[in-house]
Amino acid sequence: MPAMSVEEVDAFLESVFPEMHQGGRIFSTDAITEEGARVSMVPQARHLRPGGTVSGPTLMTLVDIAAYVAVLGHRGPKALAVTTNLSINFLRRPPLGPLTCTARILKNGQKLVVLDAAVEGEGTPPVLVAHATATYAMPPDGKDA
């Protein structure tokens, strides 16, 4: 069961990553779930590439935030949890409009948390835009509280 609520995660991110919302509130925490978390974004002009598509680095940022939110939601406030690996497959050109990333914890280990993440755009059914896996190293117990 989750260790933090959406409101607690948002307040924590606000305090440790104030620069995340620079230039406007792009990312929003939709839910902390039993499996992980869901974060969405509404791309702005500066995230676009030729042809109106969202850039790869923007998708990687969305994945990194969703995975971090899942780690926070399940492990509590750990600013020092660090990404050690992120691997992403870009599958389809994102449709215009909001994108949602669903991060799922595959292993919630003492030292390492491993997740996968699916980024989807709007459609019926939703369009699978990218799929990623990420690993976070957790700080030793007692550090960060």
Give the range of 25-33, 34-42, 69-77, 106-114 binding its own copies by CB under 8 A.
106-114
| CA–CA dist 8, 138 (Å, integer) | 19
32 and 6 Cβ atoms separated by less than 8 Å: yes
138 and 101 Cβ atoms separated by less than 8 Å: no
Binding to its own copies by CB under 8 A, coded x per residue (else -) over 107-126, reads: x---xx-x-x----------
**Min dist. Cβ of residue 143 to its own copies (A):** 12
Selected from 89, 125, 142, 145, the binder of its own copies by CB under 8 A is: 89
| Site for its own copies contains 34 (CB under 8 A) | no
Q: Strand pairing partners for 127?
A: 121
Selected from 5, 7, 25, 84, the binder of its own copies by CB under 8 A is: 84
Contacting residues for 142 by C-beta, under 8 A, at least 6 apart: none
